[in-house]
Amino acid sequence: MDNLKFIDNHTHGAFGINFNYGNYDEIKTVLKKLYRLNIKGICPTLVGESNENIQKQLSIFEKIKNEQLKTPNNETFIIGIHLEGSFLSKEKSGIQDKNVFKTPTITNFKELVGKYEKIIKIVTIAPENDIDLIDYLNQNNIITQAGHSVGKTLKNCKGTTHHFNAMNPIHHRNPSIALEGLINDNIYCEIIADLIHTNIDIIKLILKTKPKDKILLISDSLPIAHFDNEIIFCNKKIYPNGKDENNTLAGSIKTLDEICHNLIKQNVLTKKDIKKMAFENQIKYLNLTDSEIDILNS
């Protein structure tokens, strides 16, 4: 399994470092440690925050990516940012602070990211609240994902964010994005396959329903991954089990390599499956350039 490589589209940090607050040196440290785990590329994922703080973090990630494109180092490559905050449903806020959520409009998006729009790769949106943002993002080659939503349709989204989590469950009489995501073969589905956010039987259901080239294994890792202490995340205390004081499950406490190796050990997926769902599918989905692919394959 040593030659398996991974791309994580959805990670909030690790080793005690939160991508929403980490400085340049801290983020570089995380990238070097992730690289040693064969996580070749990531989309650092930012939760809802003030416009000022989001732009501060975007500037750091943009600087690092520009450096990596010029001189690839032994560190995980920054593919682009995944914004998983601001445009979510207050009814499915999960661990996030619903007070910072905004209506999905072009104006609100531009005010949020400022001059750093080019570093944005994925935006999670509650499609039922969308005004004009989804079409704008699609037209500008930014991937739209439905998540943290009570919506009944995916609208024009290209994927789902941590499928089944923070969305209405499948009901035999009611439409939902959970159902549409499973039966629409054009939709990519993020799966937190840590066997906590999705158990083995749900993963088997997904495998029977979705084409294998439309499944994206992610970690949704918290800064608490590889860190044996409490952390503050979304202004809440998160314990080593990945839950807050109200027992709300936040992200995963594992990095993507751990999740994938465990799936093989549990005979849920084969090594060939992992190669496709944790690396090859991501390259296609993220529409990477030849130079970016070369870095990831190095």
pLDDT in the model for residue 160? 98
Helix, coil or strand: residue 40:
strand
pLDDT in the model for residue 73? 86
Q: With contact defined as beta carbons under 8 Å apart, do 216 and 78 qualify?
A: no
CA dihedral over 230, 232, 235, 238, signed as positive or negative = negative
CA distance 15 to 44: 14
How many CB atoms lie under 10 A from the CB of residue 32? 14
Q: What is the pTM of this model?
A: 0.97
Average pLDDT over the chain, rounded to an integer: 96
C-alpha 246 chain-centroid distance: 23
Query: Per-residue pLDDT for 106 more than 80?
Result: yes
pLDDT in the model for residue 3? 85
Q: Which two tokens stand for residue 244?
A: 């807050």
In a domain, 107, yes or no: yes
pLDDT-derived band of residue 1, with 50, 70 and 90 as boundaries? very low
Tell me, what DSSP letter sits at residue 156?
A: T
In a domain, 72, yes or no: yes
Query: Per-residue pLDDT for 195 more than 80?
Result: yes
- Among 103, 96, 106, 147, CA closest to 125: 147
pLDDT-derived band of residue 298, with 50, 70 and 90 as boundaries? confident
Query: Per-residue pLDDT for 62 more than 90?
Result: yes
Counting the structural domains of the chain, the total is 1
CA distance 250 to 13: 13
Q: What percent of the chain has pLDDT over 90?
A: 95
In a domain, 1, yes or no: no
Supply the Cα-derived Rg of the chain in whole angstroms: 17
199-221: b (≥16 Cβ within 10 Å) or e: eeeebeebbeebeeebbbbbbbb
pLDDT in the model for residue 2? 61
Q: Determine the average pLDDT of the residues in 194-212.
A: 95
- Among 237, 253, 254, 234, CA closest to 245: 237
pLDDT-derived band of residue 217, with 50, 70 and 90 as boundaries? very high
Residue span of the structural domain in which 213 resides: 6-297
CA distance 298 to 288: 15
Tens of pLDDT, residues 235-287: 999 999 999 988 989 999 999 999 999 999 999 999 999 999 999 999 999 99
pLDDT in the model for residue 228? 86
In a domain, 16, yes or no: yes
The CATH number of the domain holding residue 127 is 3.20.20.140
